[in-house]
C-alpha cells in the first residue's frame, strides 16, 4: 500500500500506521487527530462493518452461509458477554437461512 498526498479521514489501522511511519521517516507532515468521543461509535462501527464484510466474503464452500451466520453470532455473543447486554440475545441469527 502506498499513500498518496491528500486528505484522508480513516481509522488508522496497522497497514495505514506502517505507511504513516514510512512517510514520517521522510519528514512528511502527517496531521493525526483523535476520534471524537461523540462520533466514536459511529466511526468505529462503520470501520468494523467493512472489516466484517471483507472477512465474511472470504468464506467459501457449500456451507458458506452457515459459517457466516456462526461468525456473526460469535461477534454478537462476544458483545453480549463483554458489555453484559442480556437483551441483545434477540439479535442472534437463526440458522434457517431467512432474512
Note the pLDDT tens digit of each residue in 53-81.
999 999 999 999 999 999 999 999 999 99
Residues 41 and 33: their CA atoms lie apart, in Å, by 16
In this predicted structure, what is the pLDDT of residue 68? 95
In this predicted structure, what is the pLDDT of residue 65? 92
CB 39, CB 33: distance < 8 Å? no
pLDDT band at 3 (very low <50, low <70, confident <90, very high): very low
Specify the residue for cell string 497497514: 15
User: Over 70: is that where the pLDDT of 32 sits?
Assistant: no
In this predicted structure, what is the pLDDT of residue 7? 43
Amino acid at each position: 500500500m502506498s499513500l498518496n498526498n491528500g486528505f484522508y479521514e480513516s481509522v488508522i489501522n496497522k497497514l495505514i500506521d506502517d505507511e504513516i511511519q514510512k512517510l514520517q521517516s521522510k519528514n512528511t507532515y502527517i496531521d493525526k487527530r483523535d476520534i471524537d468521543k461523540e462520533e466514536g461509535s459511529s466511526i468505529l462501527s462503520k470501520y468494523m462493518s467493512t472489516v466484517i464484510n471483507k472477512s465474511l466474503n472470504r468464506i467459501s464452500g457449500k456451507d458458506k452461509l452457515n459459517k457466516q451466520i456462526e461468525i456473526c453470532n460469535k461477534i454478537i455473543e462476544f458483545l453480549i458477554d463483554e458489555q453484559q447486554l442480556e437483551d441483545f440475545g434477540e439479535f442472534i441469527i437463526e440458522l434457517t437461512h431467512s432474512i
